[in-house]
Amino acid sequence: MDTKNYSRHIELNNAVILDGFWSDVQKTVNSKVIPYQYEALNDRIENAEKSYCVENFKKASEIVRRLRNGEKPPVYPVDKWCYDENNSDENAFHGWVFQDSDAYKWLEAAAYSLQREFDSQLYDRCTELIDIICSAQMENGYLDTLYIINDRDMAFSNLRDFHELYCFGHLAEAGVAFYYATGNKRLIWAAVRFADLICEVFGENGKAGYGGHEIAELGMIKLYEATGKEEYLKAARLFVDRRGTRPFYFDIERGITTDGLGYKYNQAHLPVREQNEAVGHAVRGVYLYSAMADLSRLTNDDSMYEACMRIWENITQKKMYITGGIGATVDGEAFSFDYDLPNDLAYCETCASIGLIFFARRMLEIKANAQIADTVERALYNTVLSGMNIDGDRFFYVNPLEVLPKASREDSRKHHIKTTRQKWFGCACCPPNLARLIGSLGEYCYTENDDTVFVHQYIGSSVQTKFGRLDVKSHYTENGHIEITADCQRPFTLALRIPSWCDEYKISANAEIKDGYAYVGITEKCELLIDFELKPRLVKCSNLVRENTDKLALCYGPSVYCLEAVDNGDNLQLLKLDLSTDFECGYTWCTQSNMPIPTVVANGFREKPDERLYSDFASSKQIPCKLTFIPYRFWSNRGETEMSVYFRYTE
């Protein structure tokens, strides 16, 4: 068993991001994404798929009013995952069954924004939305608009498919965030009322259920940490411990007996401590694993931690793309089998990489390990940021590593691979999830315990630790130079992650290296200079991944790079990097967003297209050319174009 060195993330009001790169992203989220998403929740974006989110809360509020008046509102079927004008009554619930959660995620993102910089207009919008939400809560605390609008009596009757426990989890997270950010208790109070009902229904002597889509576990844990009420921690543990035990609750709900393999999708096929492999819907998976890690930390549960480690290693050693994307298959938005990581069919949902970061932070809080923090970095700088365009008003749900626009149009197997970011999605989990992660980025950079502050991510920031203030100036992505000023109130150890991509680094102090961290003793106010040598690196993927043999990827610091046809011409498979090349780093101007995009230019060759479909082997003719790479996160900001992360090479 590993030696643990528990630490806790630093609360958001103590970790303010002040970073050339990330402050811009946060500003985009504040100024563009949050207002834009508010319009989307209210169905005011032209030509975008409708959300119905706020509309549902208003309908539910009306139902609750009528119930209070002793009326009997009509009943509509709850029999689908998605409802619209064509398949349901106009007075019934509309949108996806988990639509409430978009409002909660938006409120959580807005809370982080308010915490960073109070904005009375945004605060008013939030409280107005919270009013609508609270008015939709039933007297017993129940709060899920699908069942409130369509069929009150059927609440909690199909936990496998319908997302009321999921919506509760997001309500709890939003409630806690909004309370911490503003002191306003209205939303957390709604969450507490709903949590109390859930504890009553699913407590130790209640139904042995758990949600088909995990996150109630994380919500309960956050409520426990905010309120101190043990009941909520217990509920989280019950949800996790019951999962996948026999008889399967999802069988009981249906009055059938199965072998449970169908519940792999929900990670409910085996008790969690017996799970060795990440399976099923990827977002659900990482939300469960995050809760398992939290429970392991909170209750010092070794067997739970071991399960977390096995799953963590399975994901990061066998099921994760170089971009930090997870969930290789569109079928069930799921993890595929080991080493099945097709580039052009990838799913890599933005939310799944966000969830992977949630899981990673919690694992780091149990034991600092640079491989885990590296994975946060990998997901953050690549798949997560790829989820949003530079302007902050278009989003990717799916983040492939190779795109041929023609294939996305003509090949039904690739219809999930969008070639340009979308305005909004009917199933819009990703954009608000992205907003809440970016908004709470401060929580992912540092953890601290009784003697150590861990720096996991080098993002410029000002941090209030137990030992005094840390001021971090970071040029991490530009040149690898970081300056940390430690205003030492009492001696402590500063543990600095050494990125796995860095072979050469300098730290202006004596350091002891352990588990990928440089441990530096700080006894007085001081300034540390850190230099990570940044250079383009050629990275290979294991030859157990069939797709990438005889190919390479280019990485530069934390960023994975890619080729786009807009820079390199069509048929990217004709390009070959010359291994003896030098690399030239520069910029190309993105006229669409009026911003420079970093480039790495290398020497290579472009094969001439072979004229005959089949011919006796002979090397194809090739001519020297330049290969221009851009960071993967910026792909598809300059129109629809072929893209590939992996490329061929020649000695």
Minimum distance of its own copies from residue 331's CB (angstroms)? 4
Catalytic residue among 108, 173, 214, 333: 333
504 binds its own copies (CB under 8 A): no
486, 488, 493, 498: CA torsion to nearest 10 = 0
Residue 318 touches its own copies, criterion: CB under 8 A: yes
- 452-455/492-497 β-pairing: parallel
10 Å Cβ neighbour count for 516? 18
Q: How far is the CB of 337 from its own copies (least distance, A)?
A: 5
Residue 160: CB minimum distance to its own copies, A: 20
Q: Out of 47, 86, 618, 623, which residue is the one contacting its own copies (CB under 8 A)?
A: 618
Q: Is 555 a catalytic residue?
A: no
- Nearest distance, CB of residue 543 and its own copies, angstroms: 5
Choosing from 120, 412, 591, 594, the residue that interacts with its own copies (CB under 8 A) is 412
Size of the site for its own copies (CB under 8 A): 48
Q: How far is the CB of 632 from its own copies (least distance, A)?
A: 14
Per-residue exposure over 426-441, b if at least 16 CB sit within 10 Å of its own CB, e if not: ebbbbbbbbbbbbbbb
Residues 420-479 that bind its own copies (CB under 8 A): none
Compute the radius of gyration of the chain from its Cα atoms. 25
Q: Considering only residues 544, 587, 596, 639, which one is a binding residue for its own copies as defined by CB under 8 A?
A: 544
**Applying CB under 8 A, which of residues 422, 449, 573, 593 lies at the interface with its own copies?**
573
Exactly one of 154, 539, 585, 590 binds its own copies (CB under 8 A); which one?
A: 539
Residue of the chain from 24, 596, 620, 639 that contacts its own copies (CB under 8 A):
620
**φ, ψ for residue 62 (rounded to 5)?**
-65, -40
Which tokens hold the place of 104?
A: 């909660």
Among 65, 185, 254, 413, binds its own copies (CB under 8 A): 413
Contact 100, 173 (CB under 8 A): no
- At closest approach, how far in Å is the CB of 329 from its own copies? 6
The partner residues of 9 in beta bridges, in order of sequence, read 447
Longest dimension (CA), the chain: 83
3-class secondary structure, 87: coil
| 13 sits near its own copies (criterion: CB under 8 A) | no
Contacts of residue 458, defined as CB under 8 A and 6 or more positions apart, other chains included, come to 445, 472, 474, 476, 482, 497, 530
For its own copies, the binding residue among 205, 616, 623, 624 (CB under 8 A) is: 616
Smallest gap from Cβ 499 to its own copies, in A, equals 13
**Candidates 110-118, 182-190, 334-342, 382-390; binding stretch for its own copies (CB under 8 A):** 334-342
Give the integer Cα–Cα distance in Å for 387 and 390. Answer: 10
Stretch that binds its own copies, among 68-76, 246-254, 484-492, 545-553 (CB under 8 A): 545-553
Please provide residue 540's backbone torsions phi and psi, each rounded to the nearest 5 degrees. -110, 150
Q: State in angstroms the smallest separation of the CB of 144 from its own copies.
A: 30
State which residue, 150 or 336, has the beta carbon closest to its own copies.
336
Give the span between the Cα atoms of 623 and 575, in whole angstroms.
Answer: 10
Is 547 an annotated catalytic residue?
no
Q: Is 398 in the site for its own copies (CB under 8 A)?
A: no
Using the rule CB under 8 A, which residue among 230, 612, 623, 624 binds its own copies? 612
550 binds its own copies (CB under 8 A): yes
Smallest distance, its own copies to C-beta of residue 607, A: 5
CB-nearer residue toward its own copies: 198 or 404: 404
17-22 contacts at long range (C-beta below 8 A, 24 or more positions apart) = 17/116, 17/441, 17/442, 17/459, 17/460, 17/461, 18/460, 18/461, 18/462, 19/459, 19/460, 19/461, 19/474, 20/460, 20/474, 20/475, 20/478, 21/459, 21/476, 21/477, 22/441, 22/459, 22/460
When asked if residue 329 is in the footprint of its own copies (CB under 8 A), the reply is yes
553: which strand partners?
539
* CA-to-CA dists, residue 52 to 65, 109, 201, angstroms: 20, 19, 29
User: Least distance from C-beta 498 to its own copies, angstroms?
Assistant: 15
CB closer to its own copies, 159 vs 555? 555
Contact 41, 103 (CB under 8 A): yes
Query: Which listed range, 214-222, 282-290, 330-338, 516-524, lies at the site for its own copies (CB under 8 A)?
Result: 330-338
Burial of residue 612 (CB within 10 Å: 0-12, 13-18, 19+) is: exposed
- How far apart, in Å, are the Cα atoms of 164 and each of 198, 203, 433? 10, 16, 18
Q: Phi then psi for 499, rounded to 5 degrees?
A: -60, 140
Contact pick of 70, 611, 623, 624 for its own copies (by CB under 8 A): 611
Using CB under 8 A as the binding rule, whether residue 540 contacts its own copies is answered as: yes
Nearer Cβ to its own copies (323/440): 323
- The 3-state DSSP class for residue 600 equals strand
Please pick, from the candidates 549, 584, 589, 639, the single residue that binds its own copies as defined by CB under 8 A.
549
Kindly write down the DSSP assignment for every residue of 220-238, as one continuous string.
Answer: HHHHHHHH--HHHHHHHHH
Quick one: which of 72, 90, 614, 624 contacts its own copies (CB under 8 A)?
614
Q: Indicate the DSSP class of residue 619.
A: P
On the 0-12 / 13-18 / 19+ scale of CB atoms within 10 A, 299 is exposed
The contact mask relative to its own copies for 14-53 (x = CB under 8 A, - = no) is ----------------------------------------
Which spans of this chain sit near its own copies (rule: CB under 8 A)?
316-318, 320, 322, 329-331, 336-337, 340, 345, 404, 406-407, 410-413, 537-546, 549-550, 552, 571, 573-574, 607, 609-618, 620, 648
Active site residues: 333, 429
